[in-house]
Amino acid sequence: MASTEDIIGRSDINDLEAILSITNKDVDALVSHVKSEYDTIFTWDYEKGSRPKLNRLYEKAKDSMWNGETDLPWETEVDQEAVVLANAGGVAGANPEMDITGTPFEKFSEKDWIQLGIESQNWTLSQFMHGEQGALICTARIVENVPWIDAKYYAATQVMDEARHVEVFAKYLDTKLSGHYPINAHLKLLLDDIIQDNRWDMTYLGMQIMVEGLALAAFGFIHQLTTEPLLKQLLRYVMSDEARHVAFGVLSLQDYYQELDQAEIRERQEFAFEAAVRMRDRFLQQEVWDRMGLNVKDVIALTQQAPERQMFQQMLFSKIVPNCKKLGLLDAGDAWLRRRFEELGVIQFEDWADTGEEYEMFQLADGELPTKTA
């Protein structure tokens, strides 16, 4: 059985030196090549509806398509400095409960705090954009290598969804904000791992359950926080799609995982743990601190002490943990994944609504289409 060091390259999941040693070496590259080998599976069983829940998702997906060019109010003016101030409650500065004496933040002016907010927003939405491209590529693969026609049909609709998500995030960054960031190194490692694995269910687990599950939680957090109406509506559209995508992953994997033996399940548990750590590490936003000219290690050691930062990082797992439980991964075998999630400090989310339940709530609240008035 693999050790923590075998899985993530270090024995201590909180080893900051090891985390920061992973950097993006190709920040100026326009393309990235990832080699992989996998089977392309044809099915000659065209009976539609043999998996009724997947078929219902497919029908909902067809009815729920929206147009990123015409269904969003792109004429909205976005004053990024005003947005940063509004999101911070009108005060540019550190949390008053946080002692910044003797730290790089002690000398920050109001202009510095506003710039930090701008860089953080650029960075955050850039990583969402990169992650959505990862989802686009992975879902195209699912069309090729999932063995059921109902899943191929649904995955084809998700390819279109993901293309639309990349499109709208890129347009928002290009026309409303002030610059892209390259992909974070930890996110790139995770996407490479998902793409390089030739087993179709690992693509589902890595992308549909882990990456999309975390994105859904993050989008919900930002949707509640932001006062900017265009971004709020954009996120609401994307969230409705993402809930359906994660539900697709859960439905597709539930029965399949019941057929696997203990060793195969352990591999999936280890993969889920690796993905969780990679995603947590990427939210340290080390690239922002570097661009601001700050000592990255010192700043992260300080910001990680902030209660709101700890809460945000934990809340990102509010969709992942209950979905892993629903798949039977949390307590399979010797409950290995449960202990790893306890180590990460996120096990408290295990009984929160899983995304299948949550998707039904989206539909009940909004009908077949995302709201266009929010």
Contact criterion met (CB below 8 Å) for 339 and 262:
no
Q: How much is the pLDDT for 141?
A: 94
Task: Give residues with Cβ within 8 angstroms of 99, minimum separation 6.
Answer: none
Contact criterion met (CB below 8 Å) for 200 and 206:
no
Query: Could you identify the residue written with the tokens 């947590």?
Result: 280
**2 lies in a domain?**
no
Structural domains in the chain (count): 1
Domain, as residue range, for 212: 105-366
Q: How much is the pLDDT for 363?
A: 55
**161 lies in a domain?**
yes
**56 lies in a domain?**
no
**135 lies in a domain?**
yes
Distance CA 358, CA 339 (A): 26
Distance CA 346, CA 349 (A): 6
Distance CA 13, CA 274 (A): 10
Distance CA 131, CA 211 (A): 8
Contact criterion met (CB below 8 Å) for 73 and 233:
yes
Contact criterion met (CB below 8 Å) for 229 and 72:
no
Q: The CATH number of the domain where 228 resides is what? A: 1.20.1260.10
Q: How much is the pLDDT for 90?
A: 63
**16 lies in a domain?**
no
**226 lies in a domain?**
yes
Cα of first residue to Cα of last residue in the chain, in angstroms, is 49
**238 lies in a domain?**
yes
pTM: 0.91
Per-residue pLDDT of the chain in tens (374 residues, 90 and over written 9): 789 999 999 999 999 999 999 998 877 788 888 888 888 999 999 999 888 989 999 999 999 999 999 999 999 999 999 999 998 766 666 666 677 888 888 888 999 999 999 999 999 999 999 999 999 999 999 999 999 999 999 999 999 999 999 999 999 999 999 988 999 999 999 999 999 998 999 999 999 999 999 999 999 999 998 999 999 999 999 999 999 999 899 999 998 999 999 999 999 999 999 999 999 999 999 999 999 999 999 888 888 777 777 778 888 899 899 999 999 999 998 999 999 999 999 999 999 876 665 556 555 455 444 444 33
**72 lies in a domain?**
no
